[in-house]
Structure formats: structure tokens, C-alpha cells
Amino acid sequence: MYLDQLERFIKEGNYKNLKRREKKLALLRNSVMNHQESLGLKRMVWLEQRVVGKFCLLHTYEEDKRNLFDFLNSYGLLSLVLNIEWDKLMPEEQKKLEQLSIPKQSYLRFSPKKSLWIDADELRGFETHVKQLDIIQQIEEWKRIRLFYDQELRRWDALRKSTVREMKEEIQRVELPSGSLNVVIPSPQLKIIDALGQLSEDSLVCAGRINYELLMEYAAKGFFKKSEINRFRQLKNITSRYILTNLEKDGWMHEFFLKKQLRLSRFSQESLWKS
């Protein structure tokens, strides 16, 4: 049984090692981030170690949802770019829409007992060790720990997925000597085109969320101008996020971004030809 394998993973100390590595990676990441911030560099590449550190800006907007939804509805696009957040619906609305929902796969959440927690004292020696390393040594240490962490995380996630699949439907919680396993049933997805006619305008404004990536595709196709959408969005805040990753993964992310930009550009050109 996969449950036995999962319990063995915890009992043999692998789960605690996983969480310890997670904390160590966070300490190293913060140390590298502080170094890069002190240099005033948005992006740094350590070629020999094949690691990239970069600051990314995150924009938060305040939306005039009601008027935005009306605008999109006038083009017949609302159902194509709208997502409904199930948890923001009233219980009676959830009941009414239950038949239109698409269930998601359940997963297992492990709640460890205090003996498996990683406290500050356990990491104090490692913090001292990190302060004695130069930036290259910190990067190499981060890369070394990250390799083991990713391997063990994949193993842990695979055990959780296999265990929840073999558990009987009526079992929602399993008590272990080291903690408890709880079956979590995620909020379902909704068939938006069917749900729109079932919800009031107030409910849509409360629970609706626009997929802006998809919306920009329609703007590129010439349905409307991007500036028209911007009328319904006001920049509220800009925060910075630091990412430390390997060079290959950063390359995939950059390639994905370029493909997305090329796709929008192609839509825009096709729209001009048609007009």
C-alpha cells in the first residue's frame, strides 16, 4: 500500500529533511537577494553555476468590475474570458450550480506534529555557516541543496497522489504517529457559459475574475483597443518579487514569454490585414 510507503517516508526522517532543506533554501535565497539588491542589479547570471537571480515587478490593480463586465458582454466575450471563484459564491448559489460544476482531483494534506517542525534553533548553525560563504559559494550551496530538495519533493508528491487514489472514498482523515493526513477536495470549476444565466449581476461581480492573458488576445485580434480595457483598471500597487532559478528554467520562461508576445503580434497583424 502507498500509505505504508508514505508513512515510512515520514518515519525515516525524509519529510523532516525535506522541510529542513526548504528552510535552508529560503535562507540562501534571501542572502543572495540581499547581495544582488546591494549592487542595484535587476538581473544577475552566474554562468559557471548556471544560476539566475532576478527581480520581477508585480502589478496590482483595482477593477471597475461591473462596467468591465458590461463592456465585455457587449462584445459577447464575457463567457470566454471569465472565471468564477467557487468559494466566493453563496451556499445556495453553489447548490444551484452544482450540476454545472467540474470536480477537481482530491489531494492529501499532511499536518505534522510539533516534533517534525523546523524551529529557528535548528537553523542557527546553518545561518552562521551561510554568513561565512562568499556569493559564489552561496550559489553553489543553494544549487546543491535544491537538487536534493527537488528529488525528495517529487517523491513526496508522488506518494501523496498515489495514496489518495487508493484510499476509500469514505475515508477523509488518517491519523499517524507523526501527524494526520486529510483528504482535501478542491473547489470545482464551472462551465461559465452555463453559469452566467444562473447568477445575478452582484454575484458575478463578487465571484468573477477576468483572465487578462486571454483578454489581451482578443484585444490583439482587434475586438477592442487595450486602452479601452485600461479605463476599467487602476494601478493600485507595485511590488517586487525575487526569483532564484537555474539557467535552463529561466530560458524556458523567457522562451514562453517570447512565444506569447509573438502570438499577440501575429493576432494584431492578422487583424490589420482583415481591416
Mind listing the pLDDT tens digit for each residue in 205-218? 999 999 999 999 99
Mind listing the pLDDT tens digit for each residue in 50-101? 999 999 999 999 999 999 999 999 999 999 999 999 999 999 999 989 888 8
pLDDT at 1 over 60: yes
Q: What is the DSSP letter of 106?
A: P
Report yes or no: 193 and 79 within 8 Å, Cβ to Cβ. yes
Report yes or no: 94 and 273 within 8 Å, Cβ to Cβ. no
Report yes or no: 71 and 63 within 8 Å, Cβ to Cβ. no
The secondary structure element, H or E, covering residue 183 is strand 179-184
What is residue 167's three-state secondary structure?
A: coil
What's the N-to-C CA distance of the chain in angstroms? 63
Distance CA 146, CA 152 (A): 10
Q: Which residue has the cell 475574475?
A: 209
The secondary structure element, H or E, covering residue 190 is strand 189-190
pLDDT at 109 over 80: yes
Report yes or no: 274 and 78 within 8 Å, Cβ to Cβ. no
Beta bridge partners of 240: 57
- For the chain, how many residues are written? 275
Mind listing the pLDDT tens digit for each residue in 129-163? 999 999 999 999 999 999 999 999 999 999 999 99
Mind listing the pLDDT tens digit for each residue in 225-266? 999 999 999 999 999 999 999 998 888 888 877 787 777 677
The secondary structure element, H or E, covering residue 241 is strand 233-246
